[in-house]
Amino acid sequence: MPNIKVVNMTGAQVGEIALSDTVFGADVNEAVLHAAVRAYLLNQRQGTQSTLTRSEVSGGGRKPWKQKGTGRARQGSTRSPQWTHGGIALGPKPRSYRTKLNKKVKQIAMFSALSSKVADNEMIVVEALTATEYKTNAMVALLAALGAGKKRLVVLEAPDAIVTKSLSNIPGVKVAYANTLNVYDILNCNTIVFAQAAVSKIEEVYA
C-alpha cells in the first residue's frame, strides 16, 4: 500500500496517508493507456470538415469542347477534379470519429494513470484547498510552495467557484473534480495536485 505525505497550503508536511493499492498502486498498463488517450482525442473531434465533389461545385454543365478532332484530351466537364475550380476527389466529408471503451478498460486506464503519477513522484496531496476571496496571487504562491511543475492538474472534491476562478488565470493550470477526472488530463500534466478530500472520494468510488 503506497504512502504519500500530506502538506498544507504553505507546502509544510502535516501528515501522511496510505493510498489504496487498487487505485494508486496498480500495475501500469501502457496499451490500455494508449487506447484511453486515443479514444479521448478521437471523441474531441467534431468531424464537420467537408469538401465539394464534382457534382456539388457550381457550373460545369456544358461539355467544354467536342469529343473528337481538337487534338486535346476528351473532357466532359470543367468541374472534374483535374480542373482548376473543379471538385475534390475523395475529400473529407462529415463523419463521426466517436469510439467507445468498455467500463473495465476505462477503469484499468484510470488506475494505471494514477499509479504512474504516484510511482514517478508527480502527485501532491494538500490537506485542504480553500480560499475565502478571489485571489490569483494566492494560488500562484500555493503552487510555488508545493513545487509543482509547469503543467499542473488541480483536483478538487467538488466544484468550488472561488478556488476554480482563482486558478483559471494561471497558465499551465487545469482544474478538475473527482467525478470529472479523465486519463488524458492526468497524463498530460507534470504534477497532479489533489485535495485530500478528493483522494478519499476517488478511492470511495473506484475501490
CA dihedral sign of residues 53, 55, 57, 60: positive
60 and 148 part of one domain: no
Q: How far apart, in Å, are the Cα atoms of 205 and each of 19, 40, 69, 173?
A: 14, 21, 79, 25
Is position 37 within any domain? no
Pick the last residue of a domain from 59, 79, 96. Answer: 96
pLDDT, tens digit, 9 for 90 and up, residues 78-103? 999 999 999 999 999 999 999 999 99
> How many domains does the chain divide into?
2
Is position 36 within any domain? no
178 and 122 part of one domain: yes
Average pLDDT, the chain: 91
Is position 178 within any domain? yes
Domain containing 55 equals 46-96
pLDDT band at 106 (very low <50, low <70, confident <90, very high): very high
106 and 169 part of one domain: yes
Confidence check: pLDDT of 158 > 90: no
Beta bridge partners of 126: 7, 195
